[in-house]
Amino acid sequence: MAWAKIDDRLYAHPKILRVSLGARGLWLTAFSYAAGLERDGWFPFAALPLFLPGNAVSNALSSPNADAYVNELLSEGLWIRVEDGYRFHDFLRYNRSSKELKRQRKHGAKRLQAYRKRHGKGNAVTNALVTPTPARPGLNIKKKNSGARARAFFMDAARAPERDRTSSPVRLGDVLAAMRKAAP
């Protein structure tokens, strides 16, 4: 997909100010179409009906303003008539050429290929765990009732079989359970 640059002061450009609002709309719509074609600011005559009011090919050509809009854009030098369509004035001055876009894509593909060769086919976003694995797989209590969750955790820990405390880490639940048993 190509992107086209439009000056943020387009509204104040003398050429734009001298054309009607309908001609501006036609210019902008055709501009995005021409950028999408990646033909260096060119678009064919046949595409013109797609941009005119009504957006129906049969009705657009019969639009009374169609010729007026096109003539406004041509007379102000915003479009240049070429053999098989129109070309935007100074398109390549501000936008990348089709050759530059192809070169950029090729470079990006090589860079991605090198990355995948170094790191595998995936990337950090799609291969990361979205939801962390619970610390205690058997315990599946919703977060809404934190008191019930805590009670279930401690009760589960209290029911756990005794084990050698020197070889494994001490769990808080085990400590609290032992404190409960020792309490009068």
Question: Tens digit of pLDDT for each residue in 14-66?
Answer: 999 999 998 999 999 999 998 888 888 899 998 888 887 665 454 545 566 78
Is the Cβ–Cβ distance between 159 and 181 less than 8 Å?
no
pTM of the model: 0.57
What's the CATH code, domain 10-94? 1.10.10
Give the three-state DSSP class for 58: helix
* Domain parsing of the chain, residue ranges: 10-94, 146-182
pLDDT in tens, 115-139: 888 887 655 555 555 555 555 555 5
Tokens, residue 159: 């029911």
